[in-house]
């Protein structure tokens, strides 16, 4: 345990550093909430291997729910963005293109000379 207190973080990866900071903060929250460290729970026989596995299983089930909720939010955001883009689409542009094609057709251009 003593060596961990003196451990120096050597990575320069900002993502890793952010995760380590979050893990540290999460550990403090857990210690405050439960009044013990995980190692304390093992030494005091508050939890055994089975209880830790149940905790992991419950956390993973929660994670699946969070993923599904996030997917729902993402889908709603995509739909809102598409609707906003459609509302901003200039329908006059389509009318203008249609009129242009009518004029081309009136001038006898049937498009046969274009490669397929």
Q: In a structure prediction context, what are the per-residue pLDDT tens digits for the chain, which is 116 residues long?
A: 455 567 788 999 999 999 999 999 999 999 999 999 999 999 999 999 999 999 999 999 999 999 999 999 999 999 999 888 877 776 667 777 777 777 777 766 665 665 55
Q: What is the pLDDT of residue 102?
A: 73
Is the separation of the CB atoms in 40 and 31 below 8 Å? no
Q: What is the pLDDT of residue 85?
A: 82
Is the separation of the CB atoms in 21 and 13 below 8 Å? no
Q: What is the token pair recorded at 2?
A: 């003593």
Angle at 59 between CA 15 and CA 37, to 5 degrees: 75
Q: What is the pLDDT of residue 99?
A: 75
Q: What is the token pair recorded at 91?
A: 């329908």
Is the separation of the CB atoms in 34 and 44 below 8 Å? no
Q: What is the pLDDT of residue 115?
A: 57
Q: What is the pLDDT of residue 86?
A: 79
């Amino acid at each position: 345990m003593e060596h961990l207190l003196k451990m120096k973080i050597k990575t320069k990866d900002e993502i890793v550093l952010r995760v380590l900071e979050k893990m540290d903060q999460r550990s403090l929250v857990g210690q405050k909430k439960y009044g013990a460290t995980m190692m304390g729970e093992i030494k005091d026989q508050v939890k055994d291997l089975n209880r830790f596995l149940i905790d992991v299983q419950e956390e993973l089930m929660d994670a699946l729910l969070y993923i599904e909720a996030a997917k729902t939010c993402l889908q709603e955001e995509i739909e809102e963005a598409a609707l906003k883009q459609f509302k901003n689409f200039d329908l006059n542009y389509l009318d203008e293109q249609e009129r242009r094609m009518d004029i081309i057709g009136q001038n006898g251009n049937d498009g046969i000379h274009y490669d397929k």
